[in-house]
């Protein structure tokens, strides 16, 4: 299925150096903000109090959030869980204030607006749990990266594996850089979005790499640059359909999902945009600079017994 078909190949690799310089500068800025400002970690990572409250009727999440925020508490997460009458409230740890004192103050404020609210459960999430989550998140990220490299090395060639991982890490670091610069809250949901972007971005790279391999087999007289330009141009329609439909869904979460899904959808939006960019201008360009060639992907076929060894076409590649 194609929306359109481009007749002439677009010379993407002609401007590869310029776009990769832009990518390097963006990457460097993201790293700078990560080290200078750091990530604004949520309660799951820093520790705090988790409360579960129940209402006699469907809870007004915005009203609950405004009541808790009106107490001077920042970085509070309020969301439904289970049913529309059950609400989970995550409160950041406060110096000199115990978990019990925090929950008592919040319950008093909630009961002032709705006497029918009841406390179902309260517990304290210690910083050590947050450290464990952060460590597990890094392990998950590392395992995804290693798995992608092994997959691409077996399916294509090690040069493609290196190019794809550099491009994918470029996307991840830029997402984290945005969250560090704007001090957006980094939660477990955002971490899940980052891992999703890794898989989503490598899928786009695989589509382009597969077309490059196919072109090497089909077009014997084209240069490597022409092969890559043709591969990218011929997949543009597919890229627009795939990423456009995905972004429509993510945009609906961004606009209508509320605060609970906002940063998750925002991370996916940044990842989708930079994933397209990196697959075309970073992954393909790095593979080209690593010296990818026809011999890396198209193996020669050994001569058959009935072939004349003096025939110049004997043992030709397929």
Q: Of 100, 125, 150, which one is at a domain's C-terminal end?
A: 125
Q: Of 125, 144, 173, which one is at a domain's C-terminal end?
A: 125
- Same domain? For 32 and 144 the reply is yes
Please spell the DSSP secondary structure of 84-113, one letter per residue.
EEEEEEEEE-BTTB-HHHHHHHHHHHHHHH
Provide the β-strand partners of residue 81: 83
Name 3's Cβ contacts closer than 8 Å, sequence gap at least 6. 237, 240, 241
For residue 61, the surrounding DSSP H or E stretch is helix 61-69
Q: What is the average pLDDT across 273-301?
A: 82
Q: How confident is the model at residue 168 (pLDDT cuts 50, 70, 90)?
A: confident
At residue 200, what are phi and psi to the nearest 5 degrees?
Answer: -65, -40
Which has the minimum average pLDDT: 2-6, 143-147, 286-290?
2-6
Let me know if residue 2 belongs to a domain.
Answer: no
Say if residue 231 is exposed, middle or buried (CB neighbours under 10 Å; 0-12, 13-18, 19+).
buried
- Same domain? For 243 and 143 the reply is yes
Provide the β-strand partners of residue 121: 52
- Same domain? For 178 and 288 the reply is yes
**pLDDT reported for residue 312:** 46
- Same domain? For 87 and 164 the reply is no
Contact 44, 130 (CB under 8 A): yes
**pLDDT reported for residue 304:** 44
Let me know if residue 135 belongs to a domain.
Answer: yes
- Same domain? For 231 and 285 the reply is yes
- Same domain? For 243 and 286 the reply is yes
**pLDDT reported for residue 122:** 85
pLDDT tops 60 at residue 303: no
Over pLDDT 70: what percentage of the chain?
Answer: 90
Q: How many domains does the chain have?
A: 2
Q: What is the average pLDDT across 99-107?
A: 85
CATH code of the domain covering residue 206: 1.20.1640.10
Q: What is the average pLDDT across 153-171?
A: 83
Q: Are strands 40-41 and 185-186 parallel, antiparallel or unpaired?
A: parallel
- Same domain? For 291 and 182 the reply is yes
Q: What is the average pLDDT across 100-127?
A: 85
**pLDDT reported for residue 307:** 47
Instruction: Name the 3-class secondary structure at 51.
Output: strand
Q: How confident is the model at residue 243 (pLDDT cuts 50, 70, 90)?
A: confident
**pLDDT reported for residue 174:** 94
- Same domain? For 167 and 265 the reply is yes
Q: Of 71, 106, 125, which one is at a domain's C-terminal end?
A: 125
Let me know if residue 22 belongs to a domain.
Answer: yes
Structural domain boundaries, residue 222: 12-39+129-297
Let me know if residue 141 belongs to a domain.
Answer: yes
Let me know if residue 191 belongs to a domain.
Answer: yes
Q: How confident is the model at residue 32 (pLDDT cuts 50, 70, 90)?
A: very high
Let me know if residue 306 belongs to a domain.
Answer: no
For residue 40, the surrounding DSSP H or E stretch is strand 40-41
Q: What is the average pLDDT across 267-289?
A: 90
**pLDDT reported for residue 317:** 42
CA gap 124, 99 in Å, rounded: 6
Q: How confident is the model at residue 141 (pLDDT cuts 50, 70, 90)?
A: confident
Over pLDDT 90: what percentage of the chain?
Answer: 19
- Same domain? For 212 and 190 the reply is yes
pLDDT tops 60 at residue 311: no
CATH code of the domain covering residue 76: 3.30.70.3400
Please spell the DSSP secondary structure of 181-229, one letter per residue.
HHT-EE-HHHHHHHHHHHHHHHHHHHHHHHHHHHHHHH-SSS-HHHHHH
The per-residue pLDDT of the chain, averaged, comes to 83
CA gap 318, 301 in Å, rounded: 7
**pLDDT reported for residue 128:** 59
Q: Report pLDDT digits (tens) over 39-86.
A: 888 777 777 888 889 988 888 888 888 888 888 777 788 888 777 888
**DSSP assignment letter at 118:** E
Q: Report pLDDT digits (tens) over 10-25.
A: 889 988 999 899 999 9
Q: How confident is the model at residue 264 (pLDDT cuts 50, 70, 90)?
A: very high
CA gap 287, 161 in Å, rounded: 9
Closest CA to 66 of 110, 14, 26: 110
Let me know if residue 217 belongs to a domain.
Answer: yes
- Same domain? For 96 and 245 the reply is no
Closest CA to 290 of 232, 224, 201, 230: 224
- Same domain? For 113 and 261 the reply is no
- Same domain? For 112 and 167 the reply is no
128 or 194, greater pLDDT: 194
Q: Report pLDDT digits (tens) over 171-223.
A: 989 999 999 999 898 888 898 898 888 878 888 888 888 899 899 888 888 89
Let me know if residue 315 belongs to a domain.
Answer: no
């Amino acid at each position: 299925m194609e929306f359109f078909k481009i007749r002439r190949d677009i010379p993407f690799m002609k401007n590869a150096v310029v776009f990769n310089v832009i990518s390097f500068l963006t990457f460097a800025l993201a790293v700078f903000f990560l080290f200078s400002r750091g990530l604004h970690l949520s309660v799951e990572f820093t520790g705090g109090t988790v409360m579960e409250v129940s209402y006699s009727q469907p809870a007004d999440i915005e009203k609950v959030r405004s009541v808790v925020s009106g107490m001077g508490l920042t970085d509070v997460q309020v969301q439904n869980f289970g049913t529309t009458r059950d609400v989970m409230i995550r409160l950041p740890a406060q110096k000199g204030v115990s978990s019990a004192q925090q929950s008592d103050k919040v319950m008093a404020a909630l009961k002032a607006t709705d006497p029918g609210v009841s406390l179902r459960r309260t517990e304290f999430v210690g910083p050590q749990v947050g450290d464990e989550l952060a460590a597990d998140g890094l392990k998950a990220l590392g395992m995804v990266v290693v798995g992608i490299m092994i997959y691409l090395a077996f399916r294509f060639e090690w040069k493609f594996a290196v190019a794809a991982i550099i491009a994918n890490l470029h996307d991840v670091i830029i997402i984290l850089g945005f969250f560090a610069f704007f001090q957006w809250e980094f939660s477990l949901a955002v971490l899940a979005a980052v891992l999703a972007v890794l898989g989503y971005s490598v899928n786009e790279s695989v589509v382009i790499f597969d077309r490059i391999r196919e072109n090497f087999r089909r077009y014997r007289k084209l240069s490597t640059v022409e092969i890559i330009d043709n591969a990218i141009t011929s997949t543009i329609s597919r890229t627009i359909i795939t990423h456009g439909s995905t972004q429509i869904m993510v945009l609906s979460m961004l606009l209508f999902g509320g605060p609970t899904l906002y940063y998750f959808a925002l991370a996916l939006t940044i990842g989708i945009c930079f994933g397209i960019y990196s697959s075309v201008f970073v992954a393909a360009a790095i593979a080209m600079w690593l010296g990818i060639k026809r011999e890396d992907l198209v193996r020669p076929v050994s001569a058959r017994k009935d072939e004349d060894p003096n025939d110049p076409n004997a043992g030709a590649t397929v």
